[in-house]
């Protein structure tokens, strides 16, 4: 959720200033390094994050390729060589050529929030499937199938006959209640508003379902796989199959009305018919396609339409942007970090600090107590470090340069994407 706040700021800067950003990969938590990408891929069967492959060029520069993964499934590719950037299928082809050369590969881990932010900001990275056939109709084609039908990769008729939308889906998490529950455990948490997120990987293909409950009643639903995204009634059969599969992993989050209203604004088709209490936008197709078709069918008024401002045209089409109050509520609900997010930051910093201390030659042993807190809109990282220097005959062999160590730790904390204030206390025992 923290990263979604950052995305909102970046999104509005790009939208209203017209700035074109090159791709900047959000750094994950470093895991390990190797020199054989194919072997590393085999070891990263459950990784959520990315592999970074590097090849040194003849001119002294580097060629880098990124393979993004979600629970072991490859979902995106990015390649850059200092001159040109490539994404998706083209990047995949270039990365495969890099594997044939002498290379190094680094493994980095993401949490779901960082991965979602990358997908939101740089969606072109994750468009790796075959091109979708352009549809000439705006109406969904839905095949009726019972929710208790067998769930297997061989049963793809449903997927092939659904109207998929090729977008980057971002469902904000709530407060986590149970991560990695089985298909039976999640039911005991139903009551009030809940987000149930179910994940399944079948024959190396990922499938993910998002269901928002009001007590025991599902009110919003979406489903995502390699073909794209399905919403609402169109997603129901496949989403329920994932949710009820014994091989699925289920995450349960507490939810609130602010997040539900945001989802209704940005993904109106998520609403299930029996629970719709608002009016959806006309049509289900992409806004740009809808605009094009509207202008094509009204040639007599073409000049008039072309002169309309974006706001006027959206108003004419009946498309309503979220109001200031709704956006403010959304930002307020997202920008306060959860206990889990603070804990993840603390663990990342502690690993980095311990890595610094372990490389200091004059240190015999150490302890690092790290706390990350959020007070009055400000992040604070408090580090209490105790160092036992190496001694000989009771005398310290080498003076410990504590200011140098403190500077290294400050740089790590301040290099984070968040604005975090470091407070460092080092004691020599």
pLDDT above 90 as % of the chain: 18
pLDDT tens digit sequence for 213-244: 998 899 999 998 878 889 988 888 898 888 88
Each residue's pLDDT, cut to its tens digit, for the chain (429 residues) gives: 455 555 555 554 444 444 444 788 888 888 888 888 888 888 888 889 999 999 888 877 789 999 999 888 888 999 998 788 899 888 999 999 999 999 889 999 998 878 887 887 788 888 775 433 333 333 333 333 333 333 334 444 444 546 788 777 778 778 888 887 777 788 888 888 999 988 887 666 778 899 999 988 999 999 988 788 899 888 888 988 888 888 888 888 889 888 888 888 888 889 987 654 433 333 344 445 555 555 555 554 545 544 455 556 555 555 555 556 665 665 555 567 778 888 888 988 999 899 899 888 888 899 999 999 988 778 899 999 999 888 877 777 678 888 889 999 998 888 877 788 999 999 988
pLDDT tens digit sequence for 301-332: 545 544 455 556 555 555 555 556 665 665 55
| Residue 66 near residue 79, CB atoms below 8 Å | yes
Non-local (6+) Cβ contacts of 5 within 8 A are 331, 334, 335
pLDDT tens digit sequence for 47-96: 899 999 998 888 777 899 999 998 888 889 999 987 888 998 889 999 99
What's the pLDDT at 145? 36
Strand order of the β-sheet with 49-56 is: 29-34, 104-109, 49-56, 62-70, 73-80, 85-87
First to last CA, the chain: 40
Residue 146: strand, helix, or coil: coil
pTM: 0.41
| Residue 235 near residue 310, CB atoms below 8 Å | no
What's the pLDDT at 342? 87
Q: Domains (ranges, CATH) in the chain? A: 2-126 (no CATH), 157-279 (no CATH), 339-428 (3.30.70.1350)
Task: Say how far apart CA 400 and CA 122 lie, in whole Å.
Answer: 44
Nearest CA to 200 among 131, 255, 251?
A: 251
Question: Distances in Å between the alpha carbon of 130 and those of 89, 93, 127, 145, 361?
Answer: 9, 14, 9, 26, 54
């Amino acid at each position: 959720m923290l990263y979604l706040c950052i995305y909102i700021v970046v999104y509005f800067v790009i939208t209203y200033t017209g700035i074109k950003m090159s791709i900047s990969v959000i750094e994950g938590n470093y895991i390990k390094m190797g020199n054989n990408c194919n072997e590393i891929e085999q070891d990263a069967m459950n990784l959520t994050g990315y592999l970074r492959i590097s090849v040194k060029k003849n001119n002294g520069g580097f060629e880098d390729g990124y393979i993004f993964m979600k629970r072991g499934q490859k979902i995106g590719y990015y390649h850059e060589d200092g001159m040109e950037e490539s994404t998706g299928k083209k990047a995949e082809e270039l990365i495969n050529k890099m594997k044939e050369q002498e290379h190094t590969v680094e493994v980095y881990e993401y949490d779901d929030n960082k991965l979602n932010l990358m997908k939101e900001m740089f969606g072109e990275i994750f468009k790796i499937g075959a091109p979708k056939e352009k549809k000439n109709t705006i109406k969904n084609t839905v095949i009726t199938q019972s929710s208790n039908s067998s769930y297997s990769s061989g049963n793809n008729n449903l997927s092939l006959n659904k109207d998929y939308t090729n977008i980057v889906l971002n469902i904000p998490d709530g407060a986590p209640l149970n991560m990695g529950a089985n298909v039976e455990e999640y039911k005991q948490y139903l009551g009030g508003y809940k987000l149930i997120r179910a994940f399944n990987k079948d024959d190396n293909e990922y499938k993910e379902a998002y269901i928002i409950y009001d007590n025991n009643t599902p009110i919003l639903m979406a489903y995502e796989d390699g073909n794209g995204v399905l919403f609402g009634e169109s997603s129901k059969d496949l989403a329920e199959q994932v949710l009820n599969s014994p091989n699925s992993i289920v995450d349960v989050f507490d939810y609130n009305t602010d997040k539900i209203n945001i989802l209704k604004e940005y993904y109106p088709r998520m609403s299930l018919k029996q629970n719709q209490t608002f009016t959806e936008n006309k049509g289900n197709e992409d806004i740009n396609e809808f605009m094009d078709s509207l202008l094509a069918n009204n040639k007599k008024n073409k000049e008039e339409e072309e002169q309309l401002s974006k706001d006027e045209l959206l108003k004419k089409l009946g498309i309503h942007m979220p109001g200031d109050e709704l956006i403010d509520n959304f930002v307020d609900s997202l920008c306060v970090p959860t206990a889990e997010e603070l804990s993840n930051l603390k663990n990342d910093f502690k690993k980095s600090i311990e890595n610094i201390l372990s490389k200091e030659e004059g240190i015999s042993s150490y302890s690092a107590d790290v706390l990350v807190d959020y007070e009055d809109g400000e992040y604070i990282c408090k580090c209490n470090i105790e160092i036992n220097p190496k001694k000989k005959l009771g005398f310290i062999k080498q003076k410990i340069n504590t200011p140098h160590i403190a500077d290294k730790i400050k740089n790590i904390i301040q290099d984070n994407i968040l604005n975090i204030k470091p407070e460092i206390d080092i004691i020599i025992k």
